[in-house]
Amino acid sequence: MTPLNSAHALEIIDLKKAFGGLIATQNVSLSIRPGERRLIIGPNGAGKTTLFNQISGDMRPSSGQIRLFGTDVTAFAPYRRAHFGLSRTYQIITLFAGDTLEHNVTLGLLGLRPSRWQMWRPLAAYGDLATEARRILDAVGLLHLAAHPVSDIAYGEKRRVELAMALAQKPRVLLLDEPLAGLSNSERSTVKSLIAAIPRETTVIMIEHDMDTALDLAETVTLLNYGRVIVDGERDAVIADQRTREVYLGA
Amino acid sequence: MKWIGFALLAGALLLPPLLAGDFYINLASQILIAAIFALSLNLLVGFGGMTSLGHASYLGVAAYISALLTSKYGFGHGTAALLSIAGTTAMAACFGVIALRASGLGFLMITLALSQVLWGLAYRMSNVTNGDNGIAGLTRPAPFGISLESPASFYWFALIVAGFAFAMMAIFVSSAFGSSLKGVRDQPRRMAALGFNPWLIRWITFIYAGFWGGVSGLLYVYYNKYIHPTSLSTTNSAEALLGVIAGGSGTLGGPVVGAALVLLLKNYVSAYVERWNMLLGLVFVFIVLVMPSGIVPGLSRLAAELRRGSR
């Protein structure tokens, strides 16, 4: 493992990604400190999710480097990055619809444990996994639905299961891809307080369009447009910046 | 309710050698062999989401290795069985590396192609395999000095192996690894993001399925005392796949029921109708129309509805 005292939790150096002639990420460089709360904003198609996909390893960048706590992970497969402390949620809900909430969260726990290779012992025999999964479900307020299949629960609850699965991994860096998308006002405030309660050992990087909620959670903001970093810095400075108004907030 | 089911099952498994004639005992043995074969295929198809059309490779190769070692090279049955299973499993490891470069239809085509290669070799390498004549005059093993020549004794032997195979595969799919496998089937991307290695999970499952396919191949050659290239044919793979889908892929009982159905149709109907395949096709269409997820899931849903209705 790399030293935890590395200056940056996540460092992106001159990242480029092109799909044929379409350039989705252009010379993106970012440095995010351990424990930082970073919000990534930008119009639709600015390349926010593409950037996340490259950080998580779902997509290989055309060039450039991604470093997690000082280690170059650019060539790492997604599962290796997960073992390095990186976790993510998806903009489009990606859960195991036929399985119970408890099983979904259990998979999140299992992914980082050696017992995921165990073939001769029923999963149900791991009492500690079940206890831990239920504790996490309780933390996101879904314990009462633990035994229900994901397909039975409401959309807003699925968003919270997404979050619970990622939190189960106690990540060092957490990527949240529109955690508030499609939620009602009351659900928003629930999820907002869940995100606010994430411990400082976890660096949080979030894509979100709901500025009212997201700005409260963020310390620093990066504005992307056409795959480029337009403005990057402390929250209030970025919001006050003229270019942010032009590109994103609108007049 | 559960106990009645167990009692019925135990009765169905124990009765053939006690009551029925040799024809039915032999049929029951064949069903057990086909059931192990279908169960092993179901690990790929049902639990892994990897539809293979080449699973006969493992049955056929295990059978051929055992047949050749015992008849041509003078090996004892014990050693031959071990070498046969080891060889088949190693072959599965190699085939897995090739086939898992693709998924979906590509995976299906690669498994089909690989099995066709083996089938062709079995036909053409006649100096080794006797080609179209097959290898005849084989013997059955005599574990612990117990002869398996009588239909009843072979049935008990097959029942013990099948019971063990069923238990092992049942534990496999309910284990932590089994959950990883099902997860990779449903959401491979999410599973990778959670720290699972999808490729390795699929490859290990591929090898494990090959191993049990090999076990069914051993029983197959012991039962028939004869082996022919058709054991490696696509028809053999496809019949098993049909059984898995008709019975209910991704369930434990489904492949057993499906394998039994295919064999019963084959044995009974072929006595009356020459083109029994056509009837198999019609039955399959009927099942797909009435119970799209297969007989076992279909019947359990029906049972659940009846229970709700009677309340």
Chain A interface, best mutation among B194, B196, B199, by max A CB count within 10 A? B194
Q: Which residues of B are less than 8 Å from A87 in CB distance?
A: 193-194
pLDDT at A5 over 60: no
Q: What's the start-to-end Cα distance of chain B, in Å?
A: 16
Question: Rounded CA gap, A111 and A83, in Å?
Answer: 8
Give the tens place of pLDDT for each residue, A42-56.
Answer: 988 899 999 999 999
What residue ranges define each of the domains in chain A, with the CATH number in brackets?
A: 7-85+173-180+203-251 (3.40.50.300)
Q: Which residues of B touch A116 (CB under 8 A)?
A: 176-177, 180, 195-196
CB A65 within 8 A of CB A52: no
Say if CB B191 and CB A111 are below 8 A apart: yes
The pLDDT mean for chain A works out to 92
C-alpha span between A173 and A159 (Å, rounded): 19
Structure confidence at residue B308 (pLDDT) = 82
Percent of residues in chain B assigned helix, strand, coil, to nearest 5: 80, 0, 20
pLDDT digits (tens, 9 = 90+) for A69-118: 999 999 999 999 999 999 999 999 999 999 999 999 999 999 999 999 99
B93-to-A168, B74, B161, B236 alpha-carbon distances in Å: 34, 27, 23, 21
Q: Which residues of A touch B194 (CB under 8 A)?
A: 79, 82, 87, 107-108, 110-112, 165, 169
Grade residue A3 by pLDDT with cuts at 50, 70 and 90.
Answer: very low
List chain B residues with pLDDT less than 50: none
Check pLDDT > 90 for residue A153: yes
Which pLDDT score, from 0 to 100, does residue A2 have? 45
Q: Count of CB contacts below 8 A, A vs B?
A: 95
List the end-to-end C-alpha distance of chain A, in Å, as a whole number.
47
Question: CA nearest A168 in B: which residue?
Answer: B194
Percentage with pLDDT > 90 across chain A: 79
pLDDT at A211: 87
Return the pLDDT at A72: 94
| Proportion of chain A above pLDDT 70, given as a percent | 97
Chain B residues bordering chain A (beta-carbon distance below 8 Å):
171-172, 174-180, 182-183, 186-187, 189-198, 208
Cβ distance B229 to B129 under 8 Å? yes
pLDDT digits (tens, 9 = 90+) for A161-170: 999 999 999 9
**C-alpha distances out from residue B37 to B13, B22, B85, Å:** 18, 23, 14
**Is residue B196 a contact partner of residue A111, using CB atoms and an 8 Å limit?**
yes
Q: Which of A68, A110, A163, A175 to mutate against chain B (most B CBs within 10 Å)?
A: A110
Give the pLDDT of residue A20. Answer: 87
The residues with which A28 forms a beta bridge, in sequence order, are: A15
Q: What kind and span of H or E run contains A18?
A: strand A10-19
pTM for this entry: 0.92
Q: What is the mean pLDDT of residues A175-202?
A: 93
Task: Note the pLDDT tens digit of each residue in A27-40.
Answer: 999 999 999 999 99
The C-alpha atoms of residue A85 and residue B238 are separated, in whole angstroms, by: 44
CB neighbourhood size of A30 (10 A):
21
> CA triplet A156, A161, A165: central angle to 5 degrees?
155
Of B73, B214, B64, nearest in space to B130 by CA = B64
